[in-house]
Amino acid sequence: MEMKSVDKLLEMKNISKSFSGVKVLHDVDFSLNKGEIIALCGENGAGKSTLVKILMGIYSKDSGQIFYKGEPIDHLTALDRFNMGMSMIHQEFNLVEQLSIYQNIFLGREIRKSNGFLDISAMAKKSAEVMAKLKETVPVTTPVKKLKVAQKQIVEIARAICFDCDIIVMDEPTAVLTDRETEILFDTVRELKKRGVAVIYISHRLAEIKQICDKVIILRDGNFVAEKNIDEVTEHQIASLMVGRELEDTAPRAFSGDPDDIALEVSNVSDELLKNVSFKARKGEVVGFGGLIGAGRTELMEYIFGLRKVKTGEIYINGKKTVCKSPVQAMFNGIGFATEDRKKSGIVPIRSINDNINYGYLLKKKGLFNNGRQMLENTSRMKQRMNLICRNASQLIKTLSGGNQQKVVLGKWLLIDSNILLLDEPTRGIDVGARAEIYQIINTMADEGKTIVIVSSDLPELLKVCPRIIVMYEGQVMGELEGENRTEENFMSLASGLKTV
């Protein structure tokens, strides 16, 4: 049903923007009504984040106009827009690590007593109430730096919904959340909708968009492509509009190697979280690890890569007991690790593509001097192999899309012949086109005999990529899903600790 003009909250007209002479938005129009949930879709680099950052006053526009409740707001600062009722959940966390949860939630909007002093108890109480709505029980006095990635995301969400607002921008809000946490967020969004709050929802998870949004607007290469009511378009049609081509569906690559050729065996790993965890992965196999937040999947990968000490546990590589007490030892034993937080511990944002790809090479090579020519040759080879889209090897890696950054991370490990690759949330924040490329790279590596272990909170991703899925719950392996057992029902039963398949 068409909404009345009185319900119109936002109009963005003919918005254009360029960076360093490159136009990233071309006369884009966008409007939003009260209580409306609109998905903003497009590949990385399509202009989604740029458009909403212009809306929030973070970026200036080159041309165009913005009207909020019928009034122009082009002259207003980001703080002005925040105070008048616009809020944003950032894809990259916008939190102060040293501050507590409640201090982050109220940063810039502190409650004060009549004497001017901060009302800490009031802020802590309100923060605890909002966190409780999101089913998060961690004390609000906890410093953010001590939180897991998913908990940080929940703090970002809490900060956005804690105050009265008319518009909330959600940029990849569920990228690190489990299905259960995602559903809690969706319940919150539905409550906001009933109150007339409008939501701009950016996500590469098309099933979520179909579930929660009223409309979808699609951008491609900075241009408006289409606007559709959500019930008029399929997920496949959205994906095709985003990339401008048909996307082929992929099925899990069937394991065709020697079932007795065990490349990695982890035996009896235990500590305060992990409980007697054991598993095997074969040469040329893609193995998935699933479970809810806190199940211990990331911690297990950290142990294998030498980042975590445990009370008991053994690692065997190709049948030989191996010591991996540090990442350097793990690397020399042929193990590579793409961490869940790519920008924090996977890349060095202020360095070039060339530097990032060659870090492992520089650690492993003998001699005191860097061979600049060899490094450039290495980068050129990995660029071709990974289909890396960039200007040149000296380009800063932080300027690449998420998909291309992840290709650099994978290339770094392939360059030094890592035969075992641990990939923690390998497609987080990556668009559907780049995801398909990453999946193809994973399958190609497996075809070459490499062992791939994938940790993902995205169950459809595990079902699509991994013929065998190991499910964890509260630090223990609950079971494995393979063949006909690979169903969402069985997965959720195991992930919830209900049964063993």
| One domain, residues 282 and 201 | no
Is 318 a member of any domain? yes
| pLDDT (0 to 100) of residue 1 | 36
Is 365 a member of any domain? no
Strand runs labelled E in 333-427: 335-338, 420-424
Separation of alpha carbons 199 and 166, rounded Å? 8
Q: Evaluate whether 137 touches 115 at the Cβ level (below 8 Å).
A: no
| One domain, residues 171 and 272 | no
**Which stretches in the chain have pLDDT values below 70?**
1-6, 44, 245-251, 293, 366-370, 498-501
| One domain, residues 221 and 109 | yes
Here the contacts of 406-409 (C-beta below 8 Å, separation 24 or greater) are 406/338, 406/342, 406/346, 406/430, 406/434, 406/438, 407/437, 407/438, 407/441, 408/347, 408/353, 408/356, 408/357, 408/382, 409/338, 409/342, 409/346, 409/347, 409/356
Is 419 a member of any domain? yes
Separation of alpha carbons 375 and 424, rounded Å? 27
| One domain, residues 70 and 133 | yes
Is 326 a member of any domain? yes
Burial of 323 (C-beta count, 10 Å sphere; 0-12/13-18/19+) = exposed
| One domain, residues 201 and 318 | no
Instruction: Please name the helix (run of DSSP H) or strand (run of DSSP E) that holds residue 98, with its range, or none.
Output: none
| pLDDT (0 to 100) of residue 2 | 42
Task: Convert 280-305 to b/e letters by CB count within 10 Å (16 or more is b).
Answer: ebbbbbbbbbbbbbbbbbbbbbbbbb
| pLDDT (0 to 100) of residue 7 | 80
Domain count, the chain: 2
| pLDDT (0 to 100) of residue 3 | 42
Q: The domain containing residue 76 runs over which residues?
A: 5-243
| One domain, residues 343 and 218 | no
Q: Model pTM greater than 0.75?
A: no
Is 372 a member of any domain? no
| One domain, residues 298 and 219 | no
Burial of 142 (C-beta count, 10 Å sphere; 0-12/13-18/19+) = middle
Residues 6 or more apart whose CB falls under 8 angstroms from that of 292 comprise 178, 180, 473, 495, 496
| One domain, residues 220 and 314 | no
| One domain, residues 229 and 267 | no
Burial of 448 (C-beta count, 10 Å sphere; 0-12/13-18/19+) = exposed
- Give the CATH number for residue 129: 3.40.50.300
| One domain, residues 214 and 80 | yes
The amino acid that residue 189 corresponds to is V
Q: Evaluate whether 139 touches 331 at the Cβ level (below 8 Å).
A: no
Of 209, 243, 277, which marks where a domain is finished? 243
| pLDDT (0 to 100) of residue 250 | 56
Q: Evaluate whether 381 touches 412 at the Cβ level (below 8 Å).
A: no
Is 354 a member of any domain? no
Of 216, 243, 270, which marks where a domain is finished? 243
State the chain's maximal CA–CA distance in angstroms: 74
- Residue 246, classed as helix, strand or coil, is coil
Of 243, 271, 294, which marks where a domain is finished? 243
Q: How far is CA 435 from CA 205, 243, 326, 449, 469, in A?
A: 11, 12, 30, 21, 19
Is 360 a member of any domain? no
Q: How far is CA 472 from CA 224, 355, 376, in A?
A: 43, 36, 42
Q: How far is CA 58 from CA 31, 74, 77, 88, in A?
A: 19, 12, 8, 11
Separation of alpha carbons 349 and 345, rounded Å? 10
| pLDDT (0 to 100) of residue 501 | 57
| One domain, residues 153 and 94 | yes
Separation of alpha carbons 201 and 411, rounded Å? 32
Is 217 a member of any domain? yes
Tell me the sheet residues that pair with 22.
19
Compute the Cα dihedral for 371, 374, 379, 382 and give only its sign.
negative
CA atoms within 13 A on the CB side of 470: 21
Residues found in the chain = 501
| One domain, residues 309 and 195 | no
Q: What is the CA radius of gyration of the chain?
A: 24
